[in-house]
Structure 1
Amino acid sequence: MKECLSAKPAMTAQQEKMKACNTDAAGKKGDERKAFMKTCLSDKPMTQQEKMKACNTEATGKKGDDRKAFMKTCLSAK
């Protein structure tokens, strides 16, 4: 019997984590992206300070109630 060559094997947990971190790192470049990816891919959770820095970066351009709501959601995630 021939196996279907187009079927993709399921992603491993590490691959899924890498995909999610890459998505979250959109817009980051250079050292900022490298530091974010290192933290994101590590098994230990972000410190509150790291989380605040990452959320502040993502909130660039948001103001007032929109920024406040974003920061609340961002800081409570993960």
Structure 2
Amino acid sequence: MKKLFAVIAALAFTGSAFAATHSEKAAAGDAPKTDQQNKMASCNKEAAGMKGDERKAFMKDCLSAKPKTSTAQKAQQDKMKSCNAEAKGMKGDERKKFMSDCLKG
């Protein structure tokens, strides 16, 4: 009889532990979405009304597309390329100082 009581108590404890874990996972749903989740939501909105192969192809293209770079990012990338070209042959501290000054100015 004691063994039966121990088994029932263990099962009750396991069930309450499972419930706590389940409620923790549900609360985690309130966490901020990742970039990929945001991208999925955006693509889903754009795919409204599409069905079948058309939707599947659109979602594949949409989700695999690289994020668009802003004008400021593009300008910074161009500046970096230009400074790198000018710093060719420089090494060490000389290169670091030149790159710092070039990218600032």
- Flag the structure with more relative contact order, 1 or 2, with Cα contacts below 8 A and sequence separation at least 6: 1
Q: Which has the higher helix share?
A: 2
TM-score w.r.t. structure 1 length? Answer: 0.47
If you compute each CA radius of gyration, which structure gives the higher value, 1 or 2? 2
